[in-house]
Amino acid sequence: MSMQPGILVIYTGGTIGMVEDSETGVLNPFDFEHLTDQIPEIKKFNYRIDSISFDPIIDSSNMEPAVWVRLARLLEENYEAYEGFVILHGSDTMAYTASALSFMLENLSRPVILTGSQLPIGMIRTDGKENFITAIEIAAARKDGRAIVPEVCIYFEYQLYRGNRTHKYNAEHFEAFRSVNYPVLAQAGVHIRYNEAAIHQATDQEFRIFTRLDTNIAVLKLFPGISPSVVSAVLSTEGVRAVIIETYGAGNAPTQQWFMEALREATAKGLIICNVSQCRGGAVIQGKYETSAWLEKAGVVSGRDMTIEAAVTKLMYLLGNGYSTSRVKKYFQKPLRGEMTA
């Protein structure tokens, strides 16, 4: 392995890779072979930086599991050749991709840092340059010969987050992401200060990828006045194996007879129903109030303090494993990649 750290940049698409045509003003993806023309600062890095660009590039609104599989395979193919990876990605679905990859990449010992920007990299006020430069530095950071951050992370606006703890909360500000239920892994200022106590420790087990994802899930968001027909339509959708119910507060749901019976009947038929709070901060605590105690008895499993992005992708991963209903329920409630508090 080279003494000079090797970083592979994978450009999937998104605002960060756009430059403005000087004549038409239209935003077009720039050629990553000429990356240093846009960001000459990277020449100062003593790193070997290579790039792979998707063709065609993918708007993050069109992100889907097939792309996650493609990314996982690219990482597997290049895993031994590079010390770290930076994935440039649109911000809208970045938290879903980061969460999915955290489950798909098993025994990870190298940094996989996702980043992007709110303004194209070719614009004067872009946030993309700082995000990109610091993401590379974090991907290359080592201590005693080992990666400092051997995790799937999101770096945005001076903060490094655990990917599966993160959600996009703002479409306008440069500070687009938050991780409410887990501390930041690093803060970039004059120095990059790593929160080593919060960072996952790598194992010496062999790296491998998991690519069988089952997307037969649905999300049912509760609201006052939700109708029996809507609930029934979601719970009885043909082919659906699991439903995430976005509940109120600490995991509370209506206690109307029709709603309770609908959930009991669904779980009795083998449907997996998971409870995730609509609140971005805090956790589901089934049984804390009367309005959640019955969910436990009805066979609903708690997502505790998981984000909806982590819950969705974790279910795809668990169902893709071919586990029995009882095993999916068991593992959904256990932290597998630091996505929930034990």
Q: b/e per residue, 291-300, with b = 16+ CB within 10 A?
A: bbebbeebbb
- Burial classification of residue 265, based on how many CB atoms lie within 10 Å of its CB (0-12 exposed, 13-18 middle, 19 or more buried): middle
**Residue (of 105, 106, 95) closest to 307 by Cα position:** 95
- The one-character DSSP state at 215 is -
Q: Between β-strands 6-11 and 48-53, what pairing exists: parallel, antiparallel or unpaired? A: parallel
Which of these is catalytic: 12, 15, 93, 115? 15
Chain centroid to CA 151: 11
Residues 54 and 11: beta-carbon distance below 8 Å: yes
User: 3-class SS at 281?
Assistant: coil
Give the torsion through C-alpha atoms of 102, 103, 107, 110, to 10 deg: -20
Alpha-carbon span 218 to 316, nearest angstrom: 11
Q: From its phi and psi, is residue 20 left (phi > 0), alpha (psi between -120 and 50) or beta? A: beta
Quickly tell me which residue has 């996009």 as its tokens: 168
Contacts of 273 (CB under 8 A, 6+ apart): 235, 242, 243, 244, 245, 263, 266, 267, 298, 299, 300, 301
CA angle 274, 210, 273 (to 5 degrees): 10
Alpha-carbon span 38 to 29, nearest angstrom: 12
- Residue 134 annotated to the active site: no
**Residue (of 24, 22, 53, 51) closest to 36 by Cα position:** 51
Q: Between β-strands 142-143 and 146-147, what pairing exists: parallel, antiparallel or unpaired? A: antiparallel
Catalytic residues: 15
